[in-house]
Structure 1
Amino acid sequence: MVKKEVFFTGLMLFALFFGAGNLIFPPFLGMEAGTSFWPAIIGFVISGVSLPILSVIAISLAEGGVVSIGSRVHPLFGVFFALVTYLAVGPFFGIPRGASVAFEMGVAPFLADRSSHSFVFIFMVVFFMVVYLFSLNPSKIVDRIGQWLTPALLLAIAALCTGAFLKFNAPLSEPSGKYEESPFIAGFIEGYLTMDAIAALAFGIVVITAFTNSGMKDWRDRAKATIAAGVIAGIGLAAVYISIAWIGARIETDEQFSNGGELLTTASHMLFGEGGRILLGTIVALACLTTCVGLTTATAQFLSGRWSVISYRAFVGILTFISFLIANMGLAQIIEVSVPILIMIYPFAIVLVVLAFVHPHLKYSTPVHVGAILMTTIFSINDGLTALNVSDTFFQKAISWVPFFSSGLGWALPALAGGLIGFFVGKLKDPA
């Protein structure tokens, strides 16, 4: 295992995960948690960092990637789930959303007419040309992101956080909203809502390919290297999340904010004036760019691996063009369409990742997987309907008694129960 390769792959993985959405959650958490800052941010880090890193490791341990862990339910489910996952976090939602956020937070604040379609179109042309060029050669992604873009991103974040640590010293306020009673649980759910575990299923193939290209042919060596790279990425993510959450907790202002993006914009302007807006714009642009490159690369690798009649480079072009078209729809429309689908996929991703770690020890693997996924399906459908503002249905009322239902984690215990039922069914069929 080459330590340099592992280190820069870890930096690449950090940048792939750290999209603009990750900038928004922690500052708002810090502002609302106040004196309950530490239990809240610890909960956030556990779910917002651990789940994605575990997902990448799970993919590295399963020869065949996402298709492999899904095929333990059924081969057709494995292919279908992998395809839906890659397309959802890739060209249909994830990549266009990243490009749109880059424009909204990185460019629009400097424009007199933020809604001008011509400005949006020109920005998207340039942005996706860069994404296309960076994604053409997957063997160079560690060099381009790990060695160049990530240090630039970290330097910009460090400048913002250092300025905040030196200048912001307002006393911590009393916890508000959901952080008043159970700050740890509230922080955990907030980290869960980043939904990075879905993207992690896609990024796993990028990490594996990077290590394979560096000469690691044995899957055991790749798995060990992936774990080490995941630890590096996890430490970086945790440090950044805590730092920008601290900005929200200690900012000195009476302004009211509706989201973390507004808070960071105000904080950067308070610290560095007009230069602060440029600094934040740089952070957002780099964060979105690295994530979009990673998602494009991962999706193109998956599709070209399954359907080799079309080359990897051709898939990069197709994916970039589709993402460009959808990105021009605007951020609001993209979020409106994507959120329900991502919310439906997310429980499946977590259940499959957890099962991937216990799979080697399962005697009745298929019935356990089937039972867990069937129970998860019930609650995923409900979560999707809720995200579409379809509520107060008979279906919803029938399952609303389940623990953690109101927090969006109602699927957890039923999935466990489904897995146990599957185990006993398997034992009855094969008592040996």
Structure 2
Amino acid sequence: MDTLSVGFMTFAFFLGAGNMIFPPMAGFLAGDNYLPAMIGFLCTAVGLPLLGLIAVAKAGGSIPVITQKLPSWVGLAIACAIFIIIGPAFAAPRAGLVAYEMGAVPFLDGANATTQALYSVIFFGLAMVLALFPGKLVDSVGKILTPALIVLFAILAIAAFLFPQDPIVAAQGAYGTEPFTKGFLEGYGTMDALASLVFGMLIVDLLRKKGVTESGQQARYLSIAAIIAAAGLCFVYVPLFYLGATSSELGMGADTGGVILTTFVQQVFGSFGVVMLGAVVTLACITTVIGLLSACSEYFGELVPQVGYRGFVVINAVFCAVVANVGLSQLIAISIPVLMMVYPIAMALIAFCFARSYMKNERVGLILMVAVSTLFGLIDGVSAAGVNTSQLNFLPLYDVGMAWLLPTIIATFIALFIKADNS
């Protein structure tokens, strides 16, 4: 099997909405602190998805396989939460919104709720049809679409460094005082660490269908694919961060990074560039949505066989089209508290995959790690939602929304020394 093609396909699945809208806006706000902010962003937006894919490779399966030692209802709740978040609730609708704002709005005389609703129906309707009848779509993603995306982003990267539009100015808000931490937290927004647990499952299933059935071979393919995808994401993020940092005037008034990116392309390449950017962004986003629809529908189809895979493809696509009409900036704002709650749990699962071979009691160790990460993730999420939790400000890293980190690390360390259950 073509390893490079699998790697390109993995990269294409990740290259969706958040990958293009978060870095320009983060770079714009970070200003002269864009380097530490970018490094923090890369830790969560590239490092964590890489670890997630490798974790799936080590576990030899999917989220249900990783959580099988938890009480069944807990594993089911975690899996459902992750699939819903990266599927119909947030990630997939956001991809459709980015495709609309960057692929349609620049060419409309008057973008409004009606055009957005119509576009959502067409976009998710097409994604639904392709997810229902995929044919050789996955192969074409790896061998045709991704190389085209790489060429486009190479042109964009060169333009970002050769034609900076504005001087780099002072950082704004939290980027002025804690740029690394703020960038680290912004990386959550891509949702790629959550998606890695789902896409890993999708790729393992694809490998099985291609005749790669031995777990060691699957792990090897998936690990190489993870490295290729991580390199590709860095290739996208670094120039987009710099583009945002050098758009101090160009980005004034923009509420998302997609607006900054579109304006830059308009300035440098003219209307032809906007057409090309819109086409490629639309293709990238629909590829991601197809992957998410397929993975989510496959999981829920096995969970509720009466509805089945195809039934859930239709249900998820319709739900996505409805949620997509919330609006991009509003959807991002709503998703932040939810991500702050769920990300720590995903991090605990990934950490468990790497630590489990050293544990004497995997079941109790995993329960401890998930319980601790859930508790402190809930604290961070409630705080991000605007609830006053100042009485907990004594917790390490509470003030930067990472109260979960140290307790989860300690729980993982303790889990290594819990004695085996010999009963």
TM-score past 0.5 threshold: yes
Residue 364 of structure 1 is matched in structure 2 by 361
1:270 Cα deviation (Å)? 1.1
User: What amino acid maps onto 1:204 in structure 2?
Assistant: G
Q: 1:235 to 1:397 in 2, by over 3 A?
A: same
Native 8 Å contact 2:352 2:412 kept in 1: no
Q: Which amino acid aligns with 1:178?
A: A
Q: Equivalents in 2 of 1:408, 1:54: separation in Å? A: 21
Q: 1:241 aligns with which of 237, 244, 249?
A: 237
Equivalent residue number for residue 404 of structure 2: 411
2:300 to 298, 303, 306: 303
Cα deviations by residue, 1:170-205 (Å, 9 ceiling, x for unpaired):
554455543445544443333234332111121111
Is residue 158 from structure 1 mapped to residue 179 from structure 2 by the alignment? no
User: Aligned partner of 1:206: which letter?
Assistant: L
Q: Is the counterpart of residue 219 in structure 1 residue 212 in structure 2?
A: no
Query: Equivalents in 2 of 1:120, 1:195: separation in Å?
Result: 23
Cα 1:400–1:59 change in 2 (3 A) is same
Change (3 A) 1:42 1:79: same
Q: Aligned ranges for residues 319-398 of structure 1 at < 5 Å? A: 319-331=316-328, 334-335=331-332, 337-390=334-387, 392=388, 396-398=389-391
Letter in 1 for 2:405: A
Report the alpha carbon displacement of residue 120 of structure 1 after superposing the two structures with TM.
2.3
Deviation per CA, 1:51-89, whole angstroms, max 9, x where unpaired?
012112212322441012223332321122112211221
Deviation at 1:229, TM superposition (A): 0.6
Paired position in structure 2 for 1:80: 77
> Is structure 2 residue 96 aligned with structure 1 residue 107?
no
- Give me the whole-angstrom Cα distance separating, in 1, the residues matched to 2:397 and 2:204: 35
Give unmatched runs, 5+ long, in structure 2: none
Give the superposition deviation at 1:238: 0.4
Gaps of 5+ in 1: none
Corresponding position of 1:42 = 39
Give how far 1:18 is off. 1.7
Amino acid at match of 2:228: I
Report deviation, 1:257: 4.5
Indicate conservation of the 8 Å contact 1:139/1:209, yes or no. no
CA–CA distance in structure 2, aligned partners of residues 34 and 332 of structure 1? 21
Identity of aligned residues (%): 35
Specify which of 68, 73, 77 is matched with residue 71 of structure 1. 68
Instruction: Note the alpha carbon deviations across 1:195-245, whole angstroms, 9 max, x for none.
Output: 321111211111111211211011111011000011111111001111111
Distance in 2 separating the partners of 1:283 and 1:100: 14
Residues 34-55 of structure 1, C-alpha deviation per residue, up to 9 Å, x if partnerless?
4544343233222210101211
Q: Aligned in 2, Cα 1:240/1:388: closer, same or farther, shift over 3 Å?
A: same
Conserved in 2, the CA contact under 8 Å of 1:134 and 1:144? no
Structure 1 residue 194 corresponds to structure 2 residue 190: yes
TM-score (norm 2): 0.90
What corresponds to 2:279 in structure 1? Answer: 282
Give per-residue Cα distances to partners, 1:7-27, cap 9 Å, x unaligned.
112112112112222212222
Q: For the structure 1 residues 431 and 314, does the alpha-carbon distance in structure 2 shift closer, same or farther, using more than 3 Å as the test?
A: closer
Cα distance between partner residues in 2 of 1:400 and 1:204: 37
CA contact (8 A) 1:55 1:201 kept: yes
Residues 332/167 of structure 1: CA separation in 2 closer, same or farther (3 Å cut): closer
Which of 241, 263, 268 is the aligned partner of 2:265?
268
Deviation at 1:253, TM superposition (A): 4.0
**CA displacement at 1:363 relative to structure 2:** 0.9
Q: Partner of 1:403: helix, strand, or coil?
A: coil
* 2-structure distance, mates of 1:387, 1:36: 23
Output the CA distance in 2 between the equivalents of 1:252 and 1:17: 28
The residue that corresponds to 1:146 in the other structure is 142
Judging changes above 3 Å, is the alpha-carbon distance between structure 1 residues 263 and 12 closer, same or farther for their aligned structure 2 residues? same
Is 1:228 aligned to 2:224, yes or no? yes
Encode CA deviations 1:343-374: one digit per residue, 9 max, x unaligned: 32111011111111111111122222222222
Distance 1:141 1:362 in 2: 41
CA 1:399–1:141 in structure 2 vs 1: closer, same or farther (change >3 Å)? farther
Query: Deviations for 1:273-330, whole angstroms, at most 9, x for unmatched residues?
Result: 2233323322431232111111001112222333444443333223222322333444
Give the length in aligned residue pairs: 422
Alignment-mate amino acid for residue 404 of structure 2: W
Check if 1:56 corresponds to 2:53: yes
Which one of the candidate residues 16, 32, 38 is aligned to 1:19?
16
CA distance in 2, matches of 1:246, 1:92: 31
After TM superposition, give the deviation of residue 419 of structure 1 in Å: 3.7
Q: Secondary structure at the match of 2:136?
A: helix
Q: Structure 1 residue 272: deviation in Å?
A: 1.6
In 2: Cα distance, 1:77 partner to 1:188 partner:
28
| 1:384–1:174 CA distance, 2 compared to 1 (3 A) | closer
2:401 maps to amino acid:
G
Aligned to 1:128: 124
Q: Give me the whole-angstrom Cα distance separating, in 1, the residues matched to 2:112 and 2:233.
A: 33
